[in-house]
Amino acid sequence: MKLLMFLTKVLFKIFYRVKVRGIENFNQADDKTLIVANHVSFLDGMLLGLFLPRPISFGIHSKYYNTWWFTPIKQTMPVFVVNHDDPMAMKAIIQHIKEGNKVVIFPEGRISNTGSLMKIYPGSALIADKANAEVLPVRINGAQFTPFSQMQGRLKLRWFPQISLDILPPRKLNLPDNISNHERRKKGTEAIENIMRDMLFETSNCTMRLWDKLLEAAQTHGKNHKIIEDLERTPLTYSDIFTRAMILQQLLPQSIKHGERVGLLLPNVNGCYITFFAIHARGAVPALLNFTMGESATTAALETATIQTVITSRKFIEAGELEHLITAIEKKANVIYLEDLREKLSLVHKLKGLWMAKFPSLGVCRLIKHVDASDAAVVLFTSGSEGIPKGVVLSHKNILANIAQVSACIPFNATDICLNALPFFHSFGLTAGSMLTTLNGIKTFFYPSPLHYKIIPEIAYDIDATIIFGTNVFLSAYAKHAHPYDFHTMKYAVAGAEKLQDETRDTWMHKFGIRIIEGYGATEAAPVISVNTPMHYKSRSVGRFMPGMKYRLEHVPGISDGGRLFIKAPNVMKGYLMHNNPGVLQPPEDGWYDTGDIVAIDDEGFLSIQGRAKRFAKIAGEMVSLTAVEELCRHCWPDHDHIALAFPDAGKGERIILMSTLEKPSRKDLIQCAHEHGVSELHVPRQFLYVSEVPLLGTGKIHYVAAQALAEKILKTSSE
């Protein structure tokens, strides 16, 4: 049997090219160690038995104990039957570890059929806790692509993919002593879940360029895998993207230099995605311009990022009636129209593009050989909701790290179909709605505007969408106009960029039977900071931190619950480009990004947003959240929109004025509502301003700068 195992190991090395990384971590682990591994195929036990140093033992679920694939392991090492729901069945394995042995266990208890982590049973935590053992995480990667997995129909399977085993440093559970057995079991299971989740992220390769990741996705899912589509209803494969991007990059002006920031002014269409990668192929950096910001903000963005060239489309400019915006842009930069580039297209361009697409790893690598994963990949501009837009520079590593973080938490797979109506210039639309999906083999339908509330539900129904990303404003509007069956295939409706209102959450649940997954992010974090997941969900929270993220809360005077959030993580931006110092990168101090948000974190690690630090009013020495004021008003008058604004007050420091689409709000009704919800009367505004509609940005978020200016104008007019 030992000879058979030796020969099997040789065959595995030949056919699966098995790589083992982190063997030093195995050697550093105590003798008393519980080895936890993800479970992706029937080969997993054999892989660990063959390639982990001896001696080790196995804890295997009873339903797998007598299978053919585990028979060789039983003949060569100790094996214990594990029942995750029966503590008594764990005694033998606990005693074996206490005697100074390393034991392998699969905490999921079954082979994954999602490609990501399944639920974690408490048995592994019980073993580690009772045996006082170190936990050694091992990630198995690649075996999910074999026919021995349970991913048939979800992944492109092949007989001999490369398989790797990544061994991470050992760690302790470190559970509190003064808790009940039930609570100890719960916290122990959560600790194992966190270790497994962190393992998936830490072993993901984020030190790549976006082009490299696109090539890897094509290799994984097949060059002919249909991956993007738009209103023209012509799906494009990875091969199509390579071909078109390689042709387009030849047509771009030769004046575009390596590392130059090139403005991109296009809607959500296939052409925008292709142009994005064509700019990358030239070694330049796309700067995604927000065409809803207006002329002054857009020209300020051009100056901030020192953009000399802007790529757009005449068809788009005409359809969006943006001639005035282009006129302003032309005063600052050279405008290139895709239609004009198409007229220059020759047979030579086509043949060269086809050749480069046929061998993209050669063609692309030659073009961008001087680009590193830590270099800038994109420039996005803050919405300007609270001031002049700043340029946010994200590296390739920032974006891929955020994709890996989300993928470690939510089990997307290549059978999903994403409907993305969020614009590319919005970090949520770029990273989550475009890069996360297409770089993981998820077919993505680009819709040019999130404002077509009646059409988008129809599109979702037509394409059998399973994923949709949106803000509260957009998701609420879709629900209002949708037929109850329009979202019948939807698995994930993910909300971000603004607070999800209870009415929106309840409508989606009652009308469609869909639980909206709410998250929290910032452009500077590429953007996801925290998110609820199917396995870890808490209503009215924005989920738990992404793996690999450090945070700290700084006390804010007058705030008793929570503090100002600072984060440090691989997905945090390279830095800002500021208008007062154009083109000069200003990295975050020591890598820490100040979110400017006041957050509270509960015992389970779930975040709740109290409001922006700038959006607090100090009234008679008390800090009052303007977000909480808006929330109170929505409870009282749910059919109207409200914005709470702070203005100076000679007597109390500041006063709150409510801008509302309700023509004659009653302060008495609002006070009664405050009492019913246990809210202080300090949250009740003293003055009300009526507007027919509240100012919004193109992303659906409230435009606070415009709202403040409008309120000042109304107050000035009324006083005169």
Instruction: Quote the CA–CA distance of 259 and 230 in Å, as a whole number.
Output: 30
Q: Which two structure tokens, joined as six digits, stand for 534? A: 């199917």
Instruction: Quote the CA–CA distance of 556 and 212 in Å, as a whole number.
Output: 43
Q: Are 287 and 295 in contact (CB under 8 A)?
A: no
Instruction: Quote the CA–CA distance of 657 and 90 in Å, as a whole number.
Output: 63
Instruction: Quote the CA–CA distance of 387 and 293 in Å, as a whole number.
Output: 12
Instruction: Quote the CA–CA distance of 224 and 166 in Å, as a whole number.
Output: 31
Secondary structure of residue 551 in the 3-state scheme: strand
Strand order of the β-sheet with 528-531 is 236-237, 226-229, 443-446, 417-420, 467-470, 492-495, 517-521, 528-531, 544-545
Nearest to 325 by CA among 289, 298, 286: 298
SS3 sequence, 26-57? HHHCCCCEEEEECCCECCHHHHHHHHCCCCCE
Alpha carbons within 13 angstroms on the beta-carbon side of residue 78 total 14
CB-based burial of residue 311 (10 Å sphere; 0-12 exposed, 13-18 middle, 19+ buried)?
A: buried
Instruction: Quote the CA–CA distance of 427 and 92 in Å, as a whole number.
Output: 51
| CA gyration radius, the chain | 28
Q: Are 247 and 349 in contact (CB under 8 A)?
A: yes
Instruction: Quote the CA–CA distance of 225 and 235 in Å, as a whole number.
Output: 10
Q: Looking at the chain, how many residues does it have?
A: 720
Please tell me which residue in 39, 221, 396, 426 is annotated as part of the active site. Answer: 39
Token look-up 């609820």 returns: 532
Bin 552: left if φ > 0, else alpha if -120 < ψ < 50, else beta.
Answer: beta
Phi and psi (nearest 5°) for 551? -150, 160
Instruction: Quote the CA–CA distance of 123 and 666 in Å, as a whole number.
Output: 57
Q: Which two structure tokens, joined as six digits, stand for 298? A: 């857009």
> 645 forms bridges with which residues in the sheet?
657
Instruction: Quote the CA–CA distance of 395 and 399 in Å, as a whole number.
Output: 7
426 has catalytic annotation: no
Q: Are 199 and 107 in contact (CB under 8 A)?
A: no
Instruction: Quote the CA–CA distance of 9 and 155 in Å, as a whole number.
Output: 26
Secondary structure of residue 135 in the 3-state scheme: strand
**Between 210-221 and 396-407, two packed helices, what is the crossing angle to 10 degrees?**
40
Q: Are 148 and 159 in contact (CB under 8 A)?
A: no
Single-letter amino acid, residue 5? M
Q: Which two structure tokens, joined as six digits, stand for 188? A: 């122990």
Q: What is the largest CA-CA distance in the chain?
A: 97
Q: Are 659 and 634 in contact (CB under 8 A)?
A: no
Cβ-based neighbour number of residue 453 at 10 Å: 17
Cβ-based neighbour number of residue 628 at 10 Å: 18
Instruction: Quote the CA–CA distance of 629 and 654 in Å, as a whole number.
Output: 14
Query: What DSSP line would sit under 64-103, residue for residue?
Result: HHTSGGGHHHHHHS-EEEE-TT-GGGGHHHHHHHHTT-EE
Cβ-based neighbour number of residue 66 at 10 Å: 11
With a CB cutoff of 8 Å and minimum separation 6, the contacts of 208 are: 216, 373, 396, 397, 400
Token look-up 């002014």 returns: 265
- Which sequence positions are flagged as catalytic? 39
